[in-house]
Amino acid sequence: MGKNVYSSEVKWAVVKDKLSGELTTKEIMEKYGIKNESQIKTWMKWYRSNQHYRFDQPIGKQYSYGHGPDSVSEDDKRERQLSHLKMENEILKKYMEIERELKKK
């Protein structure tokens, strides 16, 4: 039994779904084919502790100092950061929308 590898898009989608609160952890696991609940907890911990570079890390690679692969060009780094910021902005907008709805009730 090998390790499961999830793309950074799947990881961010899981974080987004978890933060929205619309799906349970079990539903998220079924939706994305995640086999262990602890994987989602790990991604949420990375998100909350601003370790966003970890979402793009290849499996088995820990970067103690550099926070990411050295071989990635500056343009790729900027593109990945821009993509991440857009996703984070979308998550925050959704959170604020949910918060507004809850205050109305």
Q: Could you report the per-residue pLDDT of 2-24, keeping only the tens digit for each? A: 677 888 889 999 999 998 888 99
Nearest by Cα to 68 from 87, 76, 48, 89: 76
Length of the chain (residues): 105
Question: 69-91 pLDDT, tens per residue?
Answer: 555 677 877 887 888 888 888 88
Q: Helix or strand or coil: residue 64?
A: coil
Q: Answer whether 95's CB lies under 8 Å from 19's CB.
A: yes
- State the DSSP code for 55: G
Tokens of 55: 């979402």
SS3 call for 41: helix
